[in-house]
Each structure stands twice: as structure tokens, then as C-alpha cells.
Amino acid sequence: MVVTNRNRALQGTLGLSLAMGIGRFFYTPMLPLMIAALGWYSGQSAWIATANYLGYLLGCILMARGMIPLRAPYFRATLMASTLCLAAIALTPHLGWQLLIRFLSGVFSALIFVFITQALPRVVRQPTHIGLVYGGVGCGIVLSGLVVSILGSVLGWRELWLCAAVLSALLSLVVWTWPVEKGQADSPTSVAQPASVSGRPALLKVGYFFEGFGYIIIGTYLVVLAEPVFGATAAALTWIIVGLAAAPSPMLWSQVAQRWGRKAALRACYGLQILGAITAVFGSSTILLIVAALLFGSTFMGVVMLSIATGTQAGIPHASATLTTWYSVGQVLGPALVAVALGDSIATAFVVATVALVLGFLFTLASRL
């Protein structure tokens, strides 16, 4: 059977839906329901989020250092482990258990993300198809939001996590044959003149760190911010809006990059994301929350895709894993700051997120890549 470029792209799309949209972000629409059911406060939920991001960071480091071989058996074991983590969440509400499982889930999400994105320059060559793969994150977000919105009023939090595990298992079957064998597509040898960008990639990494810091605060707490307006179950609709905007956005941003250049596209993407964060600060009305969700959803995967492409072109070794490691450090520090310094002040957290995104934009601009 001949596997076409488009079929591979669709397979990668479902892989990122599994790893990110469900494995990582199912927690986001579930958060208001779990806070209501278990009596958590924002600090506890922030620590659970931080555990997940620490796991994601560890997974990225393992991949960046080449400690996990790019071989099919490891990829498939990771798919199974990610699914088991979703089911394990339902076993007990004990905080220590939740921290452990979300940590492990973060590790496996990172491994799947890098397994798929590291192979993209070799497996999926057309820019629009690469955008299609990154759009899988948005598709998974829509799926997770729909599950919680539709079933959240009739199922408990345990049953909802089991539903997520079933979805993950089904997607794993489709993604099972993704070609993860090691390639050199994003190694520095693929760049014709690495000396011309000497020193500048470091600024791109710092900018990407701040992007991770700011984006994750919005991604984790946008639904919590929406709860007073929509209610605990209906707040998941905000997350669906994020996903609907995120799903086509990588393909759209790839077309923008083809027409006006990757640098201009990345700047525009950052600018709109910052505007969305500012809107969220004042998100006390339905319209503002919807606008914030649309702006956030339509930009965060665009920044990811364009930054990794920029890093690859600049000759950063193992660009996907290396840049995602910097991104993950920011993701760890963002929720931790909310937990330690800001307590229950979600609005203030969005101000911090806005500042971080501005810094990310400025450092990326200074990199001149």
C-alpha cells in the first residue's frame, strides 16, 4: 500500500491531536469541573499543571539529548503509556497521585510531539501539509472541549477521564505506523551558511522561552476566567472556540509565510497573540472572552510552527526538541508563578502573561532570523 504525503499529514495531525489536544489539554476544560467536585483552589490546580509541564520539560530534554531512540517500538510504547495515564487520573483524587500522573503524562506528550515534529521535514514536505499536521493540536482541543461540554452534565470527572483514555486509544491505532526512524532533516548540516546566523539563534531560544511562559498561563486559565461568565460546564465552550481557531491556523500561517516571508508572519502572529492576551485581561464579558479565545487559538500554534521552522533554518541542532525544551522551561515557570505569587488572582496572571509575550516578541525580533 502506497502512503501518500497527504495521508502521512493526516496521520501526523491525529498524532498531535492525541499528544497535545487530549494528552495535555483535556485537563483545561476539566479544570473547572474538578475544582467544583474536589474543592480545589487555584494554587492546587496550578501545581498539578506545573507537574505536567515539568514532565513535558523532562521529555523534551530526553529527546534533545538523544536519550530516547527515534525508533518505532519506543514511539508505540509512548502512545500506550500516554493512554494509560489518562485512565489512571480517574483512580483517585489524591493530590499526590494527580501530581505524579500528570507529570508522567507530560513526559509522554513531549515524546510524542517530538517524535512527530522531528520527522516532519523528512516525511511531509509541502508547507500546507506541515500546517495540517500542526493543526492537529487544535483538532484535539475541539474534541476535548466537545467531550466535556456534551458529557460534563451527565458524567462525573472520573468517567470523563476514562472517555479521554478511550479516545486516545483509538487515535493511537491510527498513528501506530508513523515513520519515526532517525533522520537528519533538521540537523545543522542542512543549513548552507550557519556562520551567517552565529549568535542570533540564542535570542530566538530566549524569545521562545517567554512565549512558552506567557502562552501556558492563557492556555491553562482561560477556561477558569470564563467560568463566572458561562458556568463550569459551559466554560468548556471557550476551549472549543480556541480549538476551532487553532485547527486551521497553522495552514493559514504557512500561506502567510509563503507570501510575505516567515519573519513577517511570525511577527504578525506574535502581535495578534499579545492583543488576545490584553483582551483576556478585561475578559469579564461574553464578547471579550470569545475574542480572546479566537485570537489565542489562531496564533499559539502558528508561533510554534514558525519558530521551529526558523530554528531549523538557522541551524539549531535538533531544532524541534531544543526549542521545545526552552518553551517547556517557560511553561513550568508560568503556572508556578501563578501558584506561588499570585494565589487566586487569575486576572493578574493574564497581565503577567501579556508581559511575557511582549518579551518573547522583542527577543524574537532581536534575533533577526
Report the alpha-carbon distance of residue 263 to residue 310 in Å, rounded.
8
272 versus 119: the higher-pLDDT residue is 272
Q: At which residue does the C-alpha cell 495535555 appear?
A: 24
* pLDDT confidence band for 355 (50 / 70 / 90): very high
Q: At which residue does the C-alpha cell 461574553 appear?
A: 286
In a domain? residue 144: yes
Written as one letter, the residue type at 150 is: I
Mean pLDDT is lowest, of 194-198, 226-230, 235-239, for 194-198
pLDDT for 100 beyond 60: yes
Q: What is the CATH number of the domain that holds 242?
A: 1.20.1250.20
* pLDDT confidence band for 199 (50 / 70 / 90): low
Mean pLDDT, rounded, for 12-32: 88
Grid coordinates in use for 261? 516571508
CA torsion angle for 103, 114, 311, 330 (degrees, to 10)?
Answer: -10
Report the alpha-carbon distance of residue 307 to residue 202 in Å, rounded.
13
Average pLDDT value over all residues in the chain: 84
Give the tens place of pLDDT for each residue, 64-76: 888 888 888 999 9
In a domain? residue 76: yes
Grid coordinates in use for 287? 464578547
In a domain? residue 191: no
Grid coordinates in use for 360? 518573547
Total domains in the chain come to: 1
Written as one letter, the residue type at 119 is: A
In a domain? residue 189: no
Give the tens place of pLDDT for each residue, 138-188: 899 899 888 988 898 898 999 999 999 999 999 999 999 888 775 544 433
In a domain? residue 35: yes
E strands, the chain, are none
Distance of CA 213 to the CA centre of its chain: 12
In a domain? residue 291: yes
143 CB-side CA count, 13 A: 26
DSSP string across 321-339: HHHHHHHHHHHHHHHHHII
Domain residue limits at 355: 5-181+199-367
* pLDDT confidence band for 31 (50 / 70 / 90): confident
Evaluated on CA atoms 122, 124, 125, 130, the torsion sign reads negative
In a domain? residue 160: yes
Give the tens place of pLDDT for each residue, 243-294: 899 989 998 998 899 899 888 999 999 999 999 999 888 867 788 888 999 9
In a domain? residue 188: no
CA torsion angle for 248, 326, 212, 98 (degrees, to 10)?
Answer: 100
